[in-house]
Amino acid sequence: MKLSAEFTFETETAEKIYQAVLPELNDNFSERSRIGMYLEGAYNLVLTVKADDAVSLRSALNTWFRLIQIAQEVLEVTSEA
């Protein structure tokens, strides 16, 4: 079974988040999933995940949602300083 998911995050910090998590794309988290990420315009970060099975898809989504969330939280904290 092949599965895929695509999410668009609309935020003013899309480019900064993209730059922050881009190095993680070079790390192969799993042989059973493939990750894509790109900017669509100035405010949209698009995450695509393709996986061989539901467990791999869930795992990859959890990982990448968390990476994006952490990048956003760091940007919020550093902009307050």
Query: The whole model's pTM is what?
Result: 0.88
Per-residue pLDDT at 23: 92
pLDDT digits 0-9 by tens, 34-66: 999 999 999 999 999 999 999 999 999 999 999
In this prediction, residue 7 has a pLDDT band, given cuts at 50, 70 and 90, of very high
Per-residue pLDDT at 27: 73
Mean pLDDT of the chain: 92
CA distance linking residue 23 with residue 8, whole number of Å: 19
- Burial class of residue 59 (count of CB atoms within 10 Å of its CB; 0-12, 13-18, 19+): middle
**Percent of the chain whose predicted confidence (pLDDT) is above 70:** 96
Show the domains of the chain with their CATH numbers: 3-80 (3.30.310.50)
Contacts of 37 (CB under 8 A, 6+ apart): 18, 21, 22, 25, 45, 46, 47, 48, 64
